[in-house]
Amino acid sequence: MTPMHDADVTSRVDIPGERLLNRELSLLDFHARVLELAGDEAIPLLERVKFCSILSSNVDEFFQVRVAGLLGQAESALTVHSADGLTPNEALAQIRERVLDLVSRQSRIWKRELRPALAAEGIVIGGIKDCHKRDLKELDQRFEREIYPVLTPLAVGPGQPFPYISGLSLSLAVFVQDPESGEERFARVKIPEGLPRFLAVGRDGLYVPLEQVIAHFLARLFPGVSVVERAVFRVTRDADFEVSDDAADLLEAVETELRKRRFGDVVRVEVSSSASEQMVERLANGLAVDESQVYRIESPLDLADLMELAQLDRPDLKDEPHVPVVPPRFAGAQSRPAALFHEIRRGDILVHQPYDSYRASFETFAQAAAQDPDVIMMKTAVYRTSNDSALVGSLIRGAEEGKQSVCLVELKARFDERRNIEWSHALEQAGVHVAYGFPDMKIHAKTTLVVRREGGVLRRYAHIGTGNYHAATARQYEDIGLFTADDDITADIAELFNFITGFGRPQEFRKLLVAPFTLRSGLVAEIRAVAAAAADGETARIRLKVNHLVDPHIVAELYAASQAGAEIDVIARSTCALRPSVEGISETIRVRSIVGRFLEHSRVFAFEAGKRSTTYIGSADLMQRNLDHRIEVLVPVESVRARQEVHAILDSALADNTNAWLLGADGSWTRAAPGKSDKRHSHHAAMIRRAAERARRRTRRVD
């Protein structure tokens, strides 16, 4: 039996555009919440600097992808409306207004709060005017030795066209004039990317931005002429790409698109606010953009580089270090691989990163599969990973020892495409079978399957997670993983892998909800079951934890459930198109976002309909692309202990009154605050304590 394809599932409720919030504007609201943390004096200083840096990185990606897409729609002259009813030009106008306000607030926070606070702590971000004579001598020597050799002035004139400006690179725009002829030329000097952005000068904690050092010595690049004006500018280009559905060789197609990305259309030009109108006009003409794409910036451009300062060795200005704990049931597994599989067979294991150690849980599982002589096969689906991930090494070791090692690599993982290509080649050279999926559909599921020979029979073990197999981000991203030997779940995963690497359509899944086949219809069925229970006066509750909730059909189903009387709580980290607490529409729906020390990344779906309770975790957000155009997996959490742990996570997140924001019916976000009689509750701090207590209880039992 072939399962119903979710593209055939539609909502039973029509939803007018005014009942939805705009996706792009909602994402900018998330960026504003990040910026609010940069201005929060209760947070350690270098952590605030980090949030200021993250805001700039977030906005860069927003323009590279979301704004680039809207500009493409606007230029097509087609009549296109977003789900909330805005045309591309209307959305772009509102985005510009929001971004101008956002970067203006960021500039104020940097200049009036963070920079003075850093100076008070002996970290002075200054300029050439702050340098003593000995400092200037040191800078002169460094410039000649380390900077000047890698600079290339590019002038514009007869036979010298306007130079190509690479995306996200920092540059100096210069007007130079010949004092004899009076001829004036425009020139561009690229700020080298291989050098620190903030140069430590002298011994007094002074840091000078690299562009200011280069600007000070510009005369050496333009001998015999006068520098009339200089300004810092930066270009953002379209960084998204599409691979043809009929690409015969997916790897070659992605490599070709990566080469094209460098030359994507310009979507934004940032220029220092001191630049003259003549300079801005010259840049706009040379880059072929209109004035709506030019942003004058009062603070230093590209504050993403503040991450250099956030990483300074000043523990007194940072959060207390967090050391993930070894999950109790993984204790001793590194030295006894077979014991780990026995432990998983004894009952499902749920882990919660970064509170539980990623290395001591998933990477231990992968290493056990490579080391255990009874393991005959390991398959994994990788969306993003890091160079230091033990997963890659485990796949290679398994292949070297004659195990069947298979890796499904998603080449189209945005901004990680090149890295994925590089290490997939390394895997192939080591004998790992590498598959690249589909040109028209990303493999976003995070799952690993191990087959082990036990007593003459083959037994399967699996890990299904909400996060990428990425050792570096696992220390900062909040995610949930489930280890199971359940026959139905592991059989579903085996068939999914065969579908991706083979040819055909998967048959009916036993327990998993899999996009684009059964995930949408499965979630809709769960929501409708809760709505029916509410209509019958029974227990009816929905709790969702996602990064994004923007699919209009799912929103419509949630509205219908609310109107039936169901209690609904949504934790949406980034974007939410649903309007909560609207009379007669969504009165029983509450939406919150948690932004803090860790990046909330797990996806959890919990439904209570009468006496029936179901809970899923997995890789999918509530977006059309995830539900209909990707390979995604949700797994039911059936173990009582594991389900209790997931519900405890939800309880804590819904009780946060420190780093939570609440969404109003008008689309505005308000930061939660404890009442006079309420105790402060930080979800992240509570999870750190909870994990540590579990580890202590395990230690006491062993003792």
Please identify every residue annotated as catalytic.
Answer: 444
Q: How far apart are CA 289 and CA 269, in angstroms?
A: 8
Q: How far apart are CA 204 and CA 647, in angstroms?
A: 51
Check: CB of residue 83 under 8 Å from CB of residue 23. yes
Q: Which residue in this structure is represented by tokens 């598959």?
A: 435
- b/e map of 261-284 (b: 16 or more CB within 10 Å)? beebebbbbbbbeebeeebbebbb
Which residue stretches of 450-506 are H helix? 487-501
Token digits of residue 669: 């976000």
Angle value at C-alpha 620, between 616 and 623, nearest 5 degrees: 125
Of 669, 606, 672, 555, nearest to 11 by C-alpha is: 555
Q: At what angle do helices 364-371 and 390-400 cross, to 10 degrees?
A: 10
The helix/strand/coil state of 511 is coil
Q: How far apart are CA 533 and CA 431, in angstroms?
A: 53
Check: CB of residue 167 under 8 Å from CB of residue 268. no
Tell me the torsion sign for CA atoms 561, 562, 568, 569. positive
Q: Which residue in this structure is represented by tokens 């029979």?
A: 457
- b/e map of 211-220 (b: 16 or more CB within 10 Å)? bbbbbbbbee
Q: Using omega within 30 degrees of 0 as the cis cutoff, is the peptide bond preceding 209 cis?
A: no
Q: How far apart are CA 210 and CA 232, in angstroms?
A: 11
User: Which amino acid type is present at position 267?
Assistant: V
Look up residue 150 and give its DSSP letter: G
Of 382, 532, 546, 398, nearest to 470 by C-alpha is: 382
**693 burial via Cβ count (<10 Å: 0-12, 13-18, 19+):** exposed
Per DSSP, what are the bridge partners of residue 408?
381, 435
Of 332, 350, 351, 352, nearest to 340 by C-alpha is: 332
Of 89, 94, 68, nearest to 78 by C-alpha is: 89
Which residue stretches of 378-466 are H helix? 390-400, 417-429
Q: How far apart are CA 80 and CA 682, in angstroms?
A: 42
Question: Number of C-alpha atoms within 13 angstroms, CB side, residue 654?
Answer: 17
Question: Could you give the maximum distance between any two Cα atoms of the chain, in Å?
Answer: 92
Q: How far apart are CA 183 and CA 176, in angstroms?
A: 8
Token digits of residue 493: 């995963």
End-to-end CA gap in the chain: 54
